[in-house]
Amino acid sequence: MGLLTGLISPSGYAELSVDEVAAAYFEPHLIEQGADDLALDDAYRLQQRYVNALSAELGPRTGYKVAMTSLSSQQHFGLSEPLYGQFLKKMLLQSPAQLPVNFGARGLVEADLLVRVGDSGINEVITVDEVLTHIDAVIPFIELPDPLWSTSLTAARLVAVNCGARYGVLGEPIAVSARPKWQRRLQAFNVALYGPGDVLLASGNGDDLLSGPLNVVFWLLRRLRSEGVALQPGDLLSLGSLTAPLSPTVGQYRAVYQGLDSNPVTVNIEFTADE
């Protein structure tokens, strides 16, 4: 059963198996219990085993997602830093995309932002100001996470299920240069998420992401470096929620980004009724 064993915290916790989490992903259903006192480090170990199990079907890792990039979300979960998960190849779709509205056990929709790693030199940076030199594109992105849990969500539970990574929809890449204007663009851009009937549902700004998207990248590369993991050219990095996660309904959704390019850029997803 691929149980997580030998990783008992001082207070102990209910066992949670990799098989159980993978089954909840592939045959979408909510996980009812487990991981009551799971330590965060142990949750990351379980995440890696879970991702390894998914990759046989979903392909290799293509990047990472960072969660809890706002101070309020960190405070809510008792954290002092963000969390991260991993994206696999078949999780990422191109805009315009289409999915059944019940695409997961507890599927959500939110506006997000991706950046693409341009070269391996990013692993050597020592200040956040150096990060932009090693980013070659910004990609508007709608994430479609699925937290999987029916019980109250904790930081460790979220990490164990790969920070809820299920799907994401990519817009067209926008080439980046290491110029001061791009520092300003990433701080100042805004996004609006529209739902069925073209109703405005939510909005957000670049500085909602850890006070600036490059701070998120810098945090992630340092965190991975501490684990002996290096970012690779072409890695896609999701930098966190720009809008509150919402439960989708049948119809068209679009995220419109202003300030990243000379014209607004849009990402589209249609949710259809289940067959």
Distance CA 45, CA 221 (A): 18
Confidence of residue 94 (pLDDT cuts 50, 70, 90): very high
Least confident window among 72-81, 87-96, 216-225:
72-81
Q: What is the DSSP letter of 246?
A: B
Let me know if residue 134 belongs to a domain: yes
Residue 23, token pair as written in the block: 């089954």
pTM of the model: 0.93
pLDDT at position 42 is 92
Instruction: Report angle CA 40, 69, 88 to the nearest 5 degrees.
Output: 70
Q: Is 45 part of any domain?
A: no
d(CA 271, CA 2): 34
The reply to whether 109 falls in a domain is yes
CA angle 5, 156, 3 (to 5 degrees): 20
Question: What integer pLDDT is reported at residue 275 of this predicted model?
Answer: 59
Which region among 3-12, 74-83, 219-228, 241-250 has the lowest average model confidence (pLDDT)? 3-12
In a domain, 179, yes or no: yes
- Residues 73 and 71: their CA atoms lie apart, in Å, by 6
244-270 pLDDT per residue, tens:
999 999 999 999 999 999 999 999 999
pLDDT tens, residue by residue, 181-240? 999 999 999 999 999 999 999 999 999 999 999 999 999 999 999 999 999 999 999 999
Residue 116 lies in a domain: yes
Task: Please state the domain count of the chain.
Answer: 1
State how beta strands 265-272 and 190-195 pair: unpaired
Q: Is residue 146 part of a domain?
A: yes
Domain-located, residue 1: no
CATH (domain of 212):
3.90.850.10
Say if CB 213 and CB 238 are below 8 A apart.
Answer: no
Do residues 243 and 204 lie in contact, with contact meaning Cβ atoms separated by under 8 Å?
yes
Give the number of other CB atoms < 10 A from CB of residue 1. 7
Instruction: Tell me the sheet residues that pair with 112.
Output: 141
- Residue range of the domain that includes 152: 59-272
Residue 195 lies in a domain: yes
User: Which helix (H) or strand (E) element contains residue 113?
Assistant: strand 110-117
